[in-house]
Copies of this chain bind each other. A is one copy, B any other.
Amino acid sequence: MTFTNPRSSEYPVEPLFLDRWSPRAFDGSAVPPSDLLTILDAARWAPSAFNSQPWRFVYAVKGTPDFDKLLGLLNDFNKSWASDAGALVFLLSKTHLLPPGAQDEVPSYSHSLDAGAAWGSAALQASLLGYAAHGMTGIHLDKVHEVLGVPDGYRAELAFAIGKRGDKAKLPEGLQARETPSPRKPLAEVAFEGTFKA
């Protein structure tokens, strides 16, 4: 699927950041496990507090019973389009860490932030391999731990669909119009020198 990217940055940002976006139309083909694992491998090189690496991934490839299990954890809206993804991944984060030299774990201030850096890397590596990834927090959070066998001490952060882009004509009409890279607030609205500007 080719398309014209409507995005432009204000400064000379590397194209990989502008080229990554979150479609909903996938072509239904399975992601080969080696590609999926390359995407998750990239994620684990993200930075984290004390290099604690709080991220954990539970994944399933299209066409396996596990895929249907993970799909069942999405809400109905996300299920409607993510069923054509080539893989699904749930991202969890370990809520406590062991500081260097300490005897006991303490709550991590940044486990969600750290997991987000890993998720961002996964999405970028997916894009660089010719896939698209789409994150979702519209999931049955109350069922994730039981269905995926996640122990206490891990927060379900998000799920993401990965796949090859498909024809947007198969999406409902309202979603077809949104099947394009989204814009961003101007940089001046999110980056401030010295003092926050509300």
A60 beta carbon closer than 8 Å to chain B: yes
Question: What is the minimal beta-carbon distance from A82 to any residue of chain B, in angstroms?
Answer: 15
**Beyond A14-B42, A119-B120, 19 extra complex contacts between A and B, CB < 8 Å:** A11-B38, A13-B45, A17-B45, A20-B47, A44-B190, A45-B184, A53-B184, A53-B185, A56-B192, A58-B196, A110-B157, A110-B158, A113-B113, A113-B157, A120-B120, A124-B124, A148-B195, A148-B196, A151-B198
Whether the Cβ atoms of A45 and B58 lie closer than 8 Å is no
Q: How many residues of A contact B (CB 8 A)?
A: 77
A61, closest chain B residue (CB): B193
**Residue A115 contacts which of B44, B116, B151, B194 (CB distance < 8 angstroms)?**
B116
Cβ-defined contact, A196 with B56, below 8 A: yes
Hey, which chain B residues are within 8 Å of A125, CB to CB? 13-14, 17
Copies of this chain, how many? 2
- Tell yes or no: A49 within 8 A of B by CB: yes
The reply to whether A66 and B193 form a contact with Cβ atoms under 8 Å apart is yes
**What distance in Å separates the Cβ of A108 from its nearest Cβ neighbour in chain B?**
9
Interface residue A55 (Cβ < 8 Å from any Cβ of B): yes
B-side contacts of A69, CB under 8 Å: 194
Q: How far is the CA of A144 from the CA of B35 in the complex (A)?
A: 42
A59 contacts the other chain (CB 8 A): yes
Q: Does A163 reach chain B (CB closer than 8 Å)?
A: no
A30 within 8 A of B: no
